[in-house]
Amino acid sequence: MTKRGSLVSRPAAHKSSAAKVYAVLVLFLALKAGGNSSMAWGMKHVPEKMSMDPTLYVRAMLNPFVAMGIFALILALLTRMTLLSLADLSFVLPVTAIGYVISVFLGKVFLHETVTNQRWLGTVLIFAGALLVGTTSRNTTRLGAAPDARSGDYA
């Protein structure tokens, strides 16, 4: 037992917490990229082009790929909520931007989209930024601590 009566030491608990954050992150990235790709595939196979007519959207949602995409993106939203409960917003949003890189790759490989050098360069820059943020601390605030209204410091 440790000093506070916990069976897990601080470094072990920290590693477990980090592993949980990264596991949820991978799940989020898979759901987001898969959902967007599935929806894009389905929308490319919907006979009508979307307009202001809401019935076209309802018919499009009946396409199995669009429906799978919507379902995966709803799960991705719930997974992002979990991530935000585990790590700071300033960590989660940049790191989840890796999903854009995955989506570009999936668009190129599975949807046969043309990806220009300019788009690849932008994608590499997004990846580099996400990689840089991913090496920082996941949490910079203490749980339950609220900033002091006068100074902005955490109690």
C-alpha to C-alpha distance for 75 and 82, rounded to whole angstroms: 11
Q: Is residue 140 part of a domain?
A: no
Q: Is residue 100 part of a domain?
A: yes
Domain that holds residue 51: 12-134
Question: What pLDDT was estimated at residue 76?
Answer: 97
Q: Is residue 3 part of a domain?
A: no
Tell me the per-residue pLDDT of 20-72, one tens digit each, with 9 for 90 and over: 999 999 999 999 999 999 999 999 998 878 788 888 889 999 999 999 999 99
pTM above 0.85, yes or no: no
pLDDT at 8 over 50: no
pLDDT band at 120 (very low <50, low <70, confident <90, very high): very high
2-25 burial string, b = 16+ CB within 10 Å, else e?
A: eeeeeeeeeeeeeeeeeeebeebb
Counting the structural domains of the chain, the total is 1
C-alpha to C-alpha distance for 66 and 46, rounded to whole angstroms: 9
Residues 138, 140, 145, 146, Cα dihedral to 10°: -120
Q: Is residue 115 part of a domain?
A: yes
Question: What pLDDT was estimated at residue 9?
Answer: 44
Question: Residue 83: how many CA atoms within 13 Å on its side-chain side?
Answer: 23
Q: Is residue 154 part of a domain?
A: no
